[in-house]
Amino acid sequence: MLATQKAGKILILATESCAYPGANAVGQAHSSYPENVFILRTRAPVLFPERFYIECFEKGISGIIIMSCGVECPYHGAYEVLARRIDRVFEMMRKRGLDPTRLRLTAICTVCTRAFLKEVQQMNEIVTKLGPPAAERTDTPPAEAS
């Protein structure tokens, strides 16, 4: 138990329409998952600028899963904008020496309990293998693309 608690923290940005109720459905089913997972409710993750993700890693978050509504996002067009933004974040992560697998964009519905557990398990394996993000960051990150 304590070993997993010491594993790097995983942040989930979960949409209030789909993924957040999906995470609650996992709870209603009493299905356990690693306790290093912290879920923040969002209206739509398209809100977050690129720098937000980088700063999360700088603060010590080891992995981030964006659990969106996918193409069924209630905000028409938001998912596509988000997907393009995350591509840019991947690029920024690479330039800074951060393994891009620490960040994942996925779609989770209100009853996608198995998919939720699978995503969490996979990210947990990644952050356990990679260790804390500070360990792999280069000291002098190259200037990032805006």
Partner 1 sequence: MKRVTKVVSSDSRVGVYICHCGGNISDHVDVNAVCEKISNLDGVRTAKTNSFMCSDPGQEMIIEDLRSGEIDRVVVASCAPSLHEATFRNALSRAGVNPYLYEHANIREQVSWVHHGEAATLKAERLIAAAVAKARLLKPLDPIRIEAKRHATIIGGGIAGLKAAKDLSSRGIEVVLIEKSPFLGGWTAMLDTLAPTGEKAADLVSSLAREVLEHPLVTIHSCSQVTGFEGSVGSFRLEVQKGPSDSGVPPVKDRGIFIPFRGYLPEEDEQPCKAFVVETGVIVIATGFKPYHPKNGEYGFAEFEEVVTLPRFIRMLAERDAGEGPLSIGGKEIKNIAMIHCVGSRHIPGIHEEDESGKLNEHCSRNCCSATLHAARLVRDRFPGTHVFEFYRDIRTYGRFQEDLYSKASESNVIFLRFEPESPPVVSRNPRADGSSLKVAVNDTLTFGERVEVPADLVVLSVGMQPSDVSDLIEMMKLPVGADGFLQEIHPKLRPVELSVAGIVLAGTCQAPMDTGEASAAGSAAAVKASAILAKGYVELDPFIAEVDLEKCRGNGECVKACLRQGALYLKDFDLHGEKVRKAQVDPVLCTGCGACVAVCPENAVDIRGWTISQYEAMVEAIARES
Footprint on this chain of partner 1 (rule: CB under 8 A): 1-2, 4-5, 9, 11, 17, 21, 23-33, 35, 38-44, 46-50, 52, 55-56, 59-61, 72, 74-78, 81, 85, 110-111, 113
Q: How far is the CB of 90 from partner 1 (least distance, A)?
A: 16
| Nearest in space to 70 (alpha carbons), one of 85, 53, 82 | 82
Q: How far is the CB of 139 from partner 1 (least distance, A)?
A: 21
Nearer to partner 1, 43 or 94 (CB): 43
For residues 126 and 63, what is the distance between their CA atoms, to the nearest angstrom?
A: 8
Q: How far is the CB of 141 from partner 1 (least distance, A)?
A: 19
Q: How far is the CB of 138 from partner 1 (least distance, A)?
A: 21
Nearer to partner 1, 111 or 126 (CB): 111
- H or E element in which residue 23 lies: helix 19-28
For residues 5 and 101, what is the distance between their CA atoms, to the nearest angstrom?
A: 20
> What distances in angstroms separate CA 59 from CA 30, 69, 73, one per listed residue?
31, 26, 29
Nearer to partner 1, 21 or 106 (CB): 21
Whose structure tokens read 């393994």?
A: 99
